[in-house]
Amino acid sequence: MAHRKITDRKYTREEAAKICGVSLRTIDRAIKNGELEAYKPGKEVQIFESDLSEWFFSKQISRKRIGRPRRKVRITRP
């Protein structure tokens, strides 16, 4: 749990997923597993910016290229 300031911004699950570049399911899974702290003061789940950044950097999430690299093909004419 990170120390929070009064001005610490709160995000919804959707906003958090968009900021981190992950799916909503990834955010939900992190909350369910206790890796990411979230609060539900009313109907909407809220995530503090400090908790989100702490989780994000602890996971060292990086984007990966999908698929095989392109191969260069040399065509020679007889």
Q: For residue range 25-65, what is the model confidence (pLDDT) as tens digits? A: 999 999 999 999 999 888 899 999 999 988 888 876 556 66
- For residue 27, being part of any structural domain is answered with yes
In angstroms, what CA-CA distances link 63 with 43, 59, 60? Answer: 32, 12, 10
- For residue 66, being part of any structural domain is answered with no
Q: How far apart are CA 23 and CA 63, in angstroms?
A: 12
- For residue 71, being part of any structural domain is answered with no
**Above 80 in pLDDT, residue 6?**
no
- For residue 68, being part of any structural domain is answered with no
**Residue 31 amino acid letter:** I
- For residue 23, being part of any structural domain is answered with yes
Range of the domain at 21: 10-59
* pTM across the whole model: 0.66
- In the chain, the number of structural domains is 1
- For residue 16, being part of any structural domain is answered with yes
- For residue 37, being part of any structural domain is answered with yes
Confidence band of 21 (pLDDT split at 50, 70, 90) = confident
- For residue 40, being part of any structural domain is answered with yes
